[in-house]
Amino acid sequence: MNEAGTPFERLGGEAALRALVDHFYDLMELEPRYAALRALHPSTLAGSRDKLFWFLCGWLGGPNHYIERFGHPMLRARHLPYAIGNAERDQWMACMTQALAERGVEPALSAALREAFKGTADWMRNRAG
């Protein structure tokens, strides 16, 4: 593990990141405890999988696939159509935490990623409760 590299490199590059994102959405589809989070998403998750993967590539220090396709992420604005409160934020974090653990992401990197995700997920809330 190259601890000096970007989080993207430390994670294992595009293939490993794609596997993490796919596992995140597989869990969202399968686990009843993420049902409220799943219900906010479109009936098919193919587009969501691609967009989160493209976004995270750049966000973690790899290629800017998302920005090349869609421009500035404007993440909070793009989430405004979805009612996100504490419960939705917590389900997103729990789902991602489970995905990181089950993909075997090494503990120091996993902790750093969870900290970064936590701040972003909290910032995405757009309603009380």
Residue numbers of the site for ligand HEM (CB under 6 A)?
37, 40-42, 47-48, 51-52, 55, 70, 75, 78-79, 82, 84, 88-89, 92, 117, 120-121, 124
H helix runs in 13-106, sequence order:
13-30, 35-40, 46-59, 65-70, 75-79, 86-102
Residue 4 or 81: which CB sits closer to ligand HEM?
Answer: 81
CB of 119 to ligand HEM, least distance (A): 9
Rg (CA), the chain: 14
CB atoms near residue 30 (< 10 Å): 9
> Nearer to ligand HEM by C-beta: 4 or 71?
71
